[in-house]
Amino acid sequence: MRALSEVALQLKDYGGVRVWLTKGRELYPDYFLDSWVEYALGRSAFELDEIRALKKIRQAAAEKYPLSDSWITLLNALAESAEWNTLLKN
């Protein structure tokens, strides 16, 4: 399921990324505990313009992983970009 989520991310099938990662967490939670999963879910939320979901993912990741984690750095950059885009739209 993780490999399927990676393929979906490469194909920019962001809904598919979320489906595979969510199902993977349900069935095999021990294999979906790393920061890449948080990044991929956040990237999907960003691309699908689901800013509230992205905020929740970012907050949950901040409690689990250090800010120095490279995937968390990318997740934070996505969230900040989304926040700026929201401000610019208004």
The tens digit of pLDDT for each residue in 6-34 reads: 999 999 999 999 999 999 999 999 999 99
Q: Which residues contact 85 (CB under 8 A, 6 or more apart)?
A: none
* Whole-number pLDDT of residue 83: 85
At the top level of CATH, the class of 2-89 is mainly alpha
Q: What is the pLDDT of residue 88?
A: 74
Structural domain boundaries of the chain?
2-89
**What separation, in Å, do the N-terminal and C-terminal C-alpha atoms of the chain show?**
39
What are 31-74's pLDDT values in tens digits?
999 999 999 999 999 999 999 999 999 999 999 999 999 999 99
In the prediction, which pLDDT does 85 show? 80
